[in-house]
Structure 1
Amino acid sequence: MRSTPLGTGTTPVTELSLGAAPLGNLFRPVTDEDATATVDAAWTAGIRTFDTAPHYGLGLSERRLGAALRDRPREQYTLSTKVGRLLRPRAEATGDDLADGFAVPATHERVWDFSADGVRRSLESSLERLDLDRIDIAYLHDPDDHAEQALSEAYPALEALRAEGVVGAIGIGMNQAEMPARFVRETDIDAVLLAGRYSLLDQRGLTELLPVAAERGVSVVVGGVFNSGLLADPRPGATFDYATAPDALVTRALELQAVCERHGVPLRAAALRFPFGHPAVASVLVGSRSAAEAADAALMLRIRVPDALWADLKELGLLAVDVPTPKEEY
């Protein structure tokens, strides 16, 4: 699988990255065996970039990912995790964490912390859970309500860690495009992990973020290309941004699927390939909770999507005429 360095640095990412939020029991449990099998299937498919965070399952995702990668040659893969939420043990662990989306016991509480000390403490804890000696990419995680502290304290701490060689690359990961665009303009980050805002159904990332990222040589890793399910399996009741999709979006997704079917291309394949039409995009990140899902994502990415498919989507108004689309030979 092809890889490219992030930004102007040397930290490589494969064009498909494995998102490990599901391995933290996102919405429903995953067994340890299935978590390991998912990582194994991704590795077999050529994926060498893996993303996790303390937030995912109160550290469970990091522990499982570290265990699954333990016997892999460290120099052969790139691992990213995130800072901004510290995990503080609860005096009494009662109930579960489903209010935050994870089917795990509520053994810890999340504490927002974008201070310089918080960044270092977070990475130290992540290294312990991952059982690794270094992090390749460190992202500021969802600083929506903490922008000023993230800019004035957390970012300089990450920049110093990068200069020290403790991390290879730094960036910001969010479900919005506006604040990451500010970080691209005002800092020297290597990458943006943009979730759900550059897909066949939502191109808000194209308004400002992607152009300024391309201009400044910042790489974008695109997550959420299926918009949490609707573009993987369009039907009434499917989810969009983790809520039931409105009827109008379901209709649009079904129209996208119909055009793809006329060209003999699964909608999943078109959804995965679409972001690569923009020169700032370095990788597409897909969360998988099973070996079958990981293998399917890799298979879909290998399917050739003809130029005529994108042309038809534009002619039908399903994509704006000025949206960049990948060339068939990509």
Structure 2
Amino acid sequence: MWLPEAAVAALAVLPYLPRTHASTSRPYKSLSKDAKMLGLAPALLLGVNATVQVSEYSQAVLKPVESIDAIYKRQAAQPFNNDYTGPYYESPPKYPSPWGSGAGDWATAYEKARSFVSGLTLMEKVNLTTGTGWESDKCVGNTGAIPRIGFPSLCMQDGPLGIRFADYVTAFPAGINVAATWSRELARARGEAMGAENRDKGVDTLLGPVCGPLGRHPEGGRNWEGFSPDPYLTGALIAPTIQGIQSQGVMACTKHFIANEQEHFRQVGESIGYGYNITATLSSNIDDKTMHELYLWPFADAVRAGTASGQCSLDIGLRILTAA
């Protein structure tokens, strides 16, 4: 995805955000100061060939930056290493999948899962892990039930604006409108209202909120579902949204992990339907540095906020990596 020089300049503001903002555990507070600082970005996007170095919220120094062509040439000349992996990097698969580690009592979680699964028949295992029905019932997707042990099926329902296929429901403001408020409090209130409505309709998992697409492609057909192309702002608002939804007894499903930026012709069927000779799904290939600094940031905030689940992306290359 090509970015004009001014966009690169605007994105240069991101590394200078205060580190404390990366944590979603901070009490809700106004984003107005951040808004003032990031308000420089639109001006840069309009054509100022500069980078922004921010030492304080109220101070900024503009300095010329190298051209896009120069950046590409310099990066292409760099040897392969862990810091720069190139535009078509794919991490090698690891088998078997590594065990979960880090914060939390993983040993207890694995023991509970092992105890539950060991008591199931093969057919019950297949039924539990096989999704059923796209729009075949009242939900956009269901998991199988296990009546023998009283394990119910799960009803999953779209979407990021509320319930998609039902009557007497609310069409909530889009994520991009929520971001325009710069208010964690409103994001939380919206999440609570969405969760309550889903619960009342019998939905177990709300397929949202969205931080992928992040929205860096101006013509992205689903940019409105997310909050902002700025990963910090998206992370700051997706966290209270998730917490609001789940406070009502409904599981949030943060999507689409990751780099689901290409909406048009992301599937071969659409390409053929329009008469184009495109025989492979378009793939979003992103270098490791960009992946971590931009696209992964809000998903990390979603995990810290306790999102119950996630949905993988629909672009071919990264779908293989993220759905595994």
For normalisation by structure 2, the TM-score amounts to 0.31
Structure having the higher strand fraction is 1
Report which of the two structures shows the higher radius of gyration computed on alpha carbons: 2
For normalisation by structure 1, the TM-score amounts to 0.31
